[in-house]
Amino acid sequence: MNADKLQKTAIITGASSGIGKALAFEMAQKGYNLGLVSRRLEALEQVRTDIKQQCSNNINIEIETLDVAEDHTILPVLEKLSNTLGGTDIIVANAGITAVNRTGTGNFSVDRNVIQINLIGAMATVDAAAALFRKQKKGHIVGISSVTAWVGIPGSSAYSSSKAGFTTYLQAVRGELRKKNIQVTTIHPGFIDTDIAENMGSKPFVISAKKAAGQMLSAIEKKKSSVIVPNLPWSVVTKLITLLPEKIVARAL
């Protein structure tokens, strides 16, 4: 294994399940030291145990609890983890939730929570990462958005809006930091079959979390600016979405 890879360190938010968990396993197999955070300490401990059992690499895995909805707590937690790990190369803003809520049904608090976690919490994570990396004078920020950044899905208006906002935010941040030796990668997953995804089998173009994580890590290591996972057919689908009538798109998704 490449010695340089063994020295790399990544912090992943929302690492106890879903894409974050899959990416943690993928990075561990490549020799990355890891800082894993989520709201659920017991689940994080299990992820750490499973990684240690499945990966022969002698890597360091540190865990911390963090609720990105409490955005003022993000920087202190990331600073603590980074110090414990001896610095970090990559911070992945992955923590997020999905929710179905019909507009005007008296449940706006559901939408508010989605925006707080998926957009405000994600932005705060990126802001904290940028603060750390400015001090280090180098680093790589990765934001997990979604292909729904290009289309509003009926019943998931807040989720779609949060991802559209996050994609735009990351684009602006990339422009701000490009001369600071800080890379910014936006990843737009399509439909990924994870342990927290409901009814994913009925969705089109679904791929496994492991396969998705492999493609994501490849894009991260190549320091790409913006990618869709999987690239095909979603790179084509997202372009068609802007051309097709909304009622057809809504039926398809």
**pLDDT at 251 (0 to 100):** 63
Return the closest-CA partner of residue 126 out of 174, 189, 87: 174
The CATH number of whichever domain residue 156 belongs to comes to 3.40.50.720
Name the domain count of the chain: 1
Q: pTM, whole model, 2 decimals?
A: 0.89
Half-sphere exposure of 223 (CA within 13 A, CB side): 9
Helices (H) and strands (E) in the chain, counts: 10, 9
DSSP, collapsed to helix, strand or coil, labels residue 187 as strand
**pLDDT at 7 (0 to 100):** 72
Return the closest-CA partner of residue 16 out of 64, 60, 81: 64
**pLDDT at 246 (0 to 100):** 67
For 193, the domain range is: 3-252
- CA 70/CA 173 separation, integer angstroms: 22
Residues 105, 79: contact at Cβ < 8 Å?
no
**pLDDT at 55 (0 to 100):** 85
DSSP, collapsed to helix, strand or coil, labels residue 141 as strand
Q: How far apart, in Å, are the Cα atoms of 239 and each of 52, 123, 147?
A: 41, 26, 11
> What are the per-10-residue average pLDDT scores of the chain (253 residues)?
62 96 96 96 96 88 97 97 96 94 93 97 98 97 93 88 97 96 95 64 71 95 93 65 64 58
**pLDDT at 2 (0 to 100):** 39
